[in-house]
Copies of this chain bind each other. A is one copy, B any other.
Amino acid sequence: MSNTMLIDGQPSRQLQADDRGLLYGDGLFETIRCERGKARWLTHHWQRLSAGAARLHLPTPDLAMLDREVTQLAAGVERCLIKVVLTRGVGPRGYRPTGAERPTRVVVRHDWPGPMPPLQLGRSTVPLGENPRLAGMKHLNRLEQVLAQMELQPGLVDEVIMFASSGLPVCGSMSNLFVCQEHELLTPAVNLCGVAGVMRTLVLEAAAALTIPLRIVSLREADLARATGLFMSNVRWGLMPVAEYAGRRMQMDPRVQRLWSWIDAQV
């Protein structure tokens, strides 16, 4: 079997146990879809990773190096997911970074998961804590999502909507949320909690390009109840229609396919 993991560019499967990524979740990650040996939407991933790095005061990742390492692991594979983990690296005891840490870079290839049918969508009992200093980032502090996914029942509840501690619906446990209304699409703001998914950004770009009305809002539960359809987004699924939410059948919305066709045509 070909190598499936690089650490700081070298074939390896182990890292230092005093890495701050382990000790504090002090780092970021990306999950990149690769097709025929090439990363899809790599610039979008790099932009989000760079924005997170700036917020955590980590050095800006090198796009060419990211491309090279992802391509190295994806070579010869029809379709796979490549996860990139970027931590602050090894440091002495204590939350406070010294500033002398050198980031650790883990790049790992995963098999492409099986296909998914339209989602059976439930509601999570796990709230999302609100913190504007962390919101939107794909950082390594993901216990809320771990606890939420413990409540999934694949085939019965494939994904759950997570609600902010204030009560507003924000996103799925592994996806972003879009609400179809007759005249426009809505998606929740992720400035207090939630992740600004790469596929979410692509949907915003697609809607703008296709002049499909789409607004970022403080979504309310009533908006879910009034929705004619719902769909979820992540780079693995692309845009995934919701078949049923909280016992209610949802319509497939024709805008979803139009958005996806635009997104799928982007490199």
Q: Could you list which residues of chain A lie within 8 angstroms of chain B, going by C-beta atoms? A: 5, 7, 12-26, 29, 56-57, 81, 83, 85, 87, 93-97, 106, 108, 110, 113, 126-134, 139-150, 152, 165, 173-174, 193
**Copy number in this complex?**
2
Take A110-B93, A127-B133, A129-B193 as given contacts and tell me if A143 and B150 are in contact as well, using a CB distance cutoff of 8 Å. Answer: no
Contacts of A5 in B (CB 8 A): 17-18
Contact of A23 among B13, B23, B140 (CB under 8 A): B140
Contact assessment for B142 and A131 in the assembled complex, using a CB-CB cutoff below 8 Å: no
Contact assessment for A23 and B85 in the assembled complex, using a CB-CB cutoff below 8 Å: yes
Contacts of A174 in B (CB 8 A): 94-95
Take A14-B15, A133-B127 as given contacts and tell me if A26 and B97 are in contact as well, using a CB distance cutoff of 8 Å. Answer: no
Contacts of A140 in B (CB 8 A): 22-25, 143
Contacts of A141 in B (CB 8 A): 24-25, 141-143
A13 to B18, CA, bound (A): 8
Contact assessment for A129 and B165 in the assembled complex, using a CB-CB cutoff below 8 Å: yes
**Which of A20, A141, A174 gathers the greatest number of chain B CB atoms within 10 Å?**
A141
Contact assessment for B148 and A95 in the assembled complex, using a CB-CB cutoff below 8 Å: yes
Extra 14 A-B pairs, beta carbons < 8 Å, given A15-B15, A26-B146: A7-B17, A12-B17, A17-B108, A19-B22, A23-B29, A23-B85, A25-B140, A25-B141, A26-B143, A127-B130, A129-B129, A129-B131, A130-B165, A141-B143
Q: Looking at the assembled complex, report how far the CB atom of A107 sits from the nearest CB atom of chain B, in whole angstroms.
A: 10
A57 to B5, CA, bound (A): 29
A25 to B158, CA, bound (A): 23
Contact of A24 among B94, B129, B146 (CB under 8 A): B146
Contact assessment for B127 and A128 in the assembled complex, using a CB-CB cutoff below 8 Å: no
Contacts of A85 in B (CB 8 A): 17, 22-23
